[in-house]
Structures are given as structure tokens and as C-alpha cells.
Structure 1
Amino acid sequence: MDKVMSDKRMIALYVIPSLLLILAIIYLPIVLTGYYGLMEWDGISKMTFIGLDNYATLLQDEKFWSSVNHSLLFAVLSAVFLIVYMAVALVLAGRIRGANLFRKIYLIPMLLSSVAIAQLWLKIYHPTTGILNDLLASLGFKNTPEWLADPSVVLGALFVPILWQYAGFYILIYYAAFKNIPGSLVEAARIDGASSLQIALRIKVPLIAEVIKVTIVLAVVGSLKYFDLIYVMTDGGPNGASEVMASYMYHKAFRGFDFGYGSAIGFFLLLICLVATWGIRKLTATKDSIQYS
């Protein structure tokens, strides 16, 4: 093994194919997206170089900035609800009866595709036959809302299935992190007179700080580029009230046949995700990390 690792040609033989694959799958599409953003192109005819015109138009496009606001709202709410997932994981990581059953239940949405989840919630939100409006009517509500057709409530209605879909994923991550904390630390704090709340806030949560940073990045970036469930449930409607950056890019490129402008939106979305990731890392940066064994 040492002989292989000291042979530079052998190292290159193993590394170069992986590098080429990464370049072809990740970096080349990024470069091409930025390049197409400089063009006027309908996807079929010859491309025409127009410089930064697409990006200049993007900065003045009110519909695009409305979609940015919707995506940012989803991102902020997703990050805030990580607190709820963490609280659930804390409870499950404790010695409670049925914890294993609840973990399996929370993971069920992860086994379903986004299209299946969208179809399920379309039935739930149906204005006349949906179970949600039937429940509200049985409680005495006369004017039940049209959840996916009312611009004032459609974003909230979409956010609920998104939360439901990814709850198990984040709960499982936090659960594993909490279970990895040595029991001796918790027992020592309990002997010193710390309450369960103090142990959770002052010992357990600080010890998984690095895991929390990762989940914040995953939640924010994932929300910024979210597309499939929104596309199936509302297609960005009504009248753009649930349009997000990814769906707006799709509409411009594949329905409006303006692939140059769609590419500019995609490249701008990439920049926003990079800035968001950098900002989160800066805001959550600490000089010292807590170590335990």
C-alpha cells in the first residue's frame, strides 16, 4: 500500500478520472450557464452574443425579485423550524417509550417522491373535497379558504408540505448527534444539579454546534433552489404568488424559450446560494470548537 501511495503515476491514475467526472458534471455546467446568460437564444436557432443585457434586465425584473423574496422567505422559515426539529430530536434521544417507532414515522415522508407528496397535499387542500376544509367546516368555519388559489395564503400552504417532507431528515441528523454525546457528561451535569432544560441548552446543543451549522446551510440552500413540489402543486400561481427562483427560471427558459435569460436567472441563483453559504459560515464561525470523547 505504501508503495502504491508513493507512486505519483498510480495516484494520478486514481485521481484524474474522478476530477474529470467532477469537472464534467459540476463545473462545466456552471461555466456554460454563465456563458449562455450572455446570449440571446431560444434553444434552437443560432445564439447571439448580447453581453450583460440579460443580467441588466434581471435586475429590473419585478417578477424575478418577487420570486427571490418568496425563496428567501422559505429559506428563513426553514432555518427557524430547525429549532422545532432539534427539540423533537432531543425528546426522542431521551429515554422515552416508543422513540424508535416515532423515528420511523417521521422518516415516512422521505420515502415518498416530491410528486407523490404534492399529489397527496393537493387532495388535502382541495377546496370542496379536501380533508382540511372538511375539518374546518365541522368546527364551524363557514368561509373556508381556497388554500392554493388565494395569493394571501398560498405560500403558507406550500410551506407546510415542505416542512413535512424534510422533518424526518433533520430530526434524524439531530437525533444521531445527540445520541453521540457521551452519557458521562450528561450524568455529571445532572449530579451537579442541572435541570433537563439546562442540560439541553448548555451542554447538548453547544456540543452539536458543527452539526447545526451544516443543517442551517442545507436548509437555506435547499429552500433557495426548491422547485418540484411547488411546480406540481401551483406552478408558481396564482398570478405568480408562489413563484420561486427555480420555477421562474423554468418558465422563462422552457416555456418562454428564452434560454439566455433563463440561464442568467440560474447563474444568479447559484451566486445567491454561494453568498448565503458564505454568510452562514461567517455568522456561525467560532474560534474554538468543543471537543469531547
Structure 2
Amino acid sequence: MNKMMSDKKVIALYILPSLLLIMALVYIPIFMTGYYSLMKWDGIGTMKFIALDNYKQLIKDDMFWRSAYHSFLLALFSVISLAGYLAVSLVLSGKIKGANVLRKTYLIPMLLSSVAIAQLWLRIYHPSNGMLNHFLTSLGIDDPPNWLADPSIALYSIFVPIIWQYAGFYILIYYAALKNIPSSIIEAAVIDGANPWQLAYKIKLPLVSGVIKITVVLAVVGSLKYFDLIYVMTGGGPNGASEVIASYMYQKAFRSFNFGYGSAIAFSLLLICIIITWLIRKLTRSNEEIQY
């Protein structure tokens, strides 16, 4: 068996199916998107090669930069929310009553589809029949806001269900990392006189720093390419107030039938995600690797 697994031909044979699948589902679509971005094409007729004209138009497109700002704002809120998820995980990883019930409760949003979550929050935000405005009215607020129709707050209103949707996912990751810390390390710190704050800040957080870096990358990249819930709830409106890069790409490619320009937006988004990921890894790189 060992001799067979050391044969390079056998190794290549095992790798080939997954490699072909990745090529078909990932690399070929990326290549085709880059190719289409150099064309003027409505998705049906003849393609016309226009070189980098789509990218030149992109640089001058105010709506693209506005949607990019919204995407980066969502990424910022998502990263900030990670601190809350980590705090909840620190509490749940301790010996508290009802921790199992709370963990299951936090996982519920992750089990729902984005469309179901969007429909739920559309009813919560409904201006006349929504639960939120009913609650504000009961507090004496006679004119509660129209959450998804007011351009000044529509974007931030959408951030709430997005952050709520992924709470269970990140809490689960942090909880698993914290529970993976050997109990002997925690017990030794307690014997040395560490209080709960010192235990969390000086012992637990450094030991899960690698996981924290991964979740930051996931949160940022996931926010930059986020689309489905925003599309269902507002479609990028009102008047582009909640437009993000992915929804703007969809609008240009599948509503305006400008597949060349939509592909340029999609390819630019890919490059932005790669650069952001590289920067995060560069800024958080550490020569010291904590082992336990």
C-alpha cells in the first residue's frame, strides 16, 4: 500500500478528478469572466473586442465607487461584529448554565436560507405592520422610520440581518477553537492566580489568534461579494442607497444586458478580494507560532 501511494502516477490519478472539477467550476469561469470583460457583448449577439475600455469606464463610474464604498462599509461592520461573536464564544466556552441551549439558538439563523431571512426581516421592517415599528409606536414614537425606503438608513438596516445571519457560524468557529485549548493550560493559569479577564486576554485569545485571522479574511471577503439578501430585500435601492459591488454587477449584466461591463465589475471584485486577503495576511503575519 505504501509503495502504491508513493507512485507519482497513482497520486496523479487520485488528484485528477478533483483537479478537473476545480478547473471546470472555478478556474475556467474566472478565465472566461476575464475574457468577457474585454468585450462589448449583450449576452446574445456577436462579441466585439474593446480591450480595456470596460475598465476605463469602470474607473469613471461613480455608481461603481459608491457600491464599492457600501461593500467596504459592510466589511468593516462585519469585522467589528467579530469581537461580539468572540465575546459570546468566550462566555459559552466557560462553565455556565444553559450553554448548550444558547449554542443551538445562535445556530438557528445559519440553518435558514438567505431568502427566508430576507422575507423574515422584510416583515420586521414593514413600515405599517412590522414588529419593529409596532414596538417603537408603543414607546410613544409617532412617526417611526421607513427602514428600507429611507436612503439614509436603508444600508444600515440591511447590515443588521446580515450580521445576525452569520453570528452562529462565527460563534461556532470560535467556540470550537476555544474548546480545543488544553485544559491543563487553563488550570495552570488559574493556579498562578489569573482572573477571568487575564485568562481571556492573555491566555485564550493568543492561542486562538490564528483562527481569528482566518475569520477576519472570511468576513471581509464574504462581505465584499455579498449579494443574495440585499437583492431580495432592496434590490440595491432606494436609488442605489444599498447597492454593493455584487448587486451592481448583477444589474449591469442581467438587467442592462451589458455582459462585458458586468464581467469587468466581477473580475475587478475578484482582484479586490485577492489584494485584500493578501494585505490582511501581510499585516497579521507573525514570526511567532504558539503551539500547545
The one-letter code of the counterpart of 2:42 is: D
Q: Aligned residue for 2:100? A: 100
Q: Aligned residue for 1:157? A: 157
| 1:262-284, Cα deviation, whole Å (9 max, x unpaired) | 00000000001001100110111
The one-letter code of the counterpart of 1:143 is: D
| 1:17-37, Cα deviation, whole Å (9 max, x unpaired) | 221221111111111101100
Q: With structure 2 as the length reference, what TM-score do the two structures score?
A: 0.99
| 1:201-235, Cα deviation, whole Å (9 max, x unpaired) | 01000000110011001100000000000000000
The one-letter code of the counterpart of 1:156 is: Y
Q: 1:143 Cα shift?
A: 1.6
Q: 1:196 Cα shift?
A: 0.3
Q: Aligned residue for 2:36? A: 36
The one-letter code of the counterpart of 1:231 is: Y
Q: Aligned residue for 2:181? A: 181
The one-letter code of the counterpart of 1:180 is: N
CA distance in 1, matches of 2:7, 2:144: 71
The one-letter code of the counterpart of 1:184 is: S
CA distance in 1, matches of 2:151, 2:32: 36
Q: Aligned residue for 2:283? A: 283
Q: Aligned residue for 2:203? A: 203
CA distance in 2, matches of 1:74, 1:29: 26
Q: 1:6 Cα shift?
A: 2.7
Q: Aligned residue for 1:88? A: 88
SS at match of 1:140: coil
Q: 1:10 Cα shift?
A: 1.9
- Identical residues among aligned pairs (%): 67
RMSD (Å), alpha carbons: 0.7
CA distance in 1, matches of 2:219, 2:249: 21
SS at match of 1:151: coil
Q: Aligned residue for 1:172? A: 172
The one-letter code of the counterpart of 1:223 is: S
The one-letter code of the counterpart of 2:139 is: L
Q: Aligned residue for 1:248? A: 248
Give 1:113-124 correspondences, 5 Å limit: 113-124=113-124
SS at match of 1:133: helix
Q: 1:8 Cα shift?
A: 2.5
SS at match of 1:285: coil
Q: Aligned residue for 1:217? A: 217
Q: Aligned residue for 2:274? A: 274
CA distance in 2, matches of 1:3, 1:178: 39
Gaps of 5+ in 1: none
| 1:132-163, Cα deviation, whole Å (9 max, x unpaired) | 00000101112200000001111111000001
SS at match of 1:81: helix
Q: 1:3 Cα shift?
A: 2.1
SS at match of 1:181: coil
Q: With structure 1 as the length reference, what TM-score do the two structures score?
A: 0.98
Q: 1:11 Cα shift?
A: 1.9
Q: Aligned residue for 1:143? A: 143
The one-letter code of the counterpart of 1:183 is: S
| 1:37-69, Cα deviation, whole Å (9 max, x unpaired) | 000000000100000000000000000000000
CA distance in 2, matches of 1:244, 1:266: 12
Matched positions, count: 292
Q: 1:193 Cα shift?
A: 1.6
| Range that drifts further, 47-56 or 25-34 | 25-34
| Range that drifts further, 15-24 or 276-285 | 15-24
| 1:140-195, Cα deviation, whole Å (9 max, x unpaired) | 11220000000111111100000110000000100011111111211211222211
CA distance in 2, matches of 1:273, 1:202: 32
CA distance in 1, matches of 2:52, 2:100: 55
Gaps of 5+ in 2: none
SS at match of 2:166: helix
CA distance in 1, matches of 2:152, 2:58: 25
